[in-house]
Amino acid sequence: GQQVMQIPQYQHVQEGEDFTTYCNSSTTLSNIQWYKQRPGGHPVFLIQLVKSGEVKKQKRLTFQFGEAKKNSSLHITATQTTDVGTYFCAAGGYQKVTFGTGTKLQVIP
Amino acid sequence: KAGVTQTPRYLIKTRGQQVTLSCSPISGHRSVSWYQQTPGQGLQFLFEYFSETQRNKGNFPGRFSGRQFSNSRSEMNVSTLELGDSALYLCASSLRGGSSYEQYFGPGTRLTVT
């Protein structure tokens, strides 16, 4: 079945540093979604990417979908303490979504 | 619009017992998915229901079952509980489900099996 890996598993950054998490699929995807889960909370939808090579920005967050539609990345510029949480990618296949393993981000003030 | 609600929020059960969890989706959403979240395994997909039919199923034993009612509310049942079933169970609703629509998660039910 479809496998979705995210790296790194954990990341500690100083406040103000940048952060990137990568999502890799073993198969070509129809789309990719990103979610954020704050500590003690539930996953919250951030964005969906559909087109090959697509890049979308939300304030300090930049999302990319690979040209081959097999990988994606989320980049946060100048992290803040409010960025703390676990970031999940969710790979869209045929009628099914597979969540990645998640990257837990800690921001040191 | 009210968000996704799950009841109960916390539950403690004993090995061998069974449990039923409930999920009320966002009004108008017809798809409900269930996930098991544990620290070591991340978000594991259990199943998805759309218009009262199970559309997708994850790799969980038959002890895990679910159903969806005509008002889109969904229940999940786990029979013969095992210690390893302790987890946060999340349900997520979506307009039409599948991979094209974003999912809205509920707060989860924290199940502890002793």
Q: d(Cα A97, Cα A95) in Å, to the nearest integer?
A: 7
The predicted pLDDT at position B97 comes to 78
Is pLDDT of A1 > 70?
A: no
Inter-chain touch A101–B42, beta carbons under 8 Å: yes
B9 CA: distance to closest CA in chain A (Å): 12
CA distances from residue A61 to A7, A64, A77 in whole angstroms, order as listed: 17, 10, 7
Q: What is the pLDDT of residue B83?
A: 97
pLDDT in tens, B11-57: 999 999 999 999 999 999 999 999 999 987 789 999 999 999 999 89
pLDDT digits (tens, 9 = 90+) for A48-73: 999 999 999 999 999 999 999 999 99
Nearest Cβ partner for B104 among A45, A90, A101: A45
C-alpha distance from A2 to closest chain B C-alpha (Å): 12
8 A C-beta contact, residue B74 and residue B92 = no
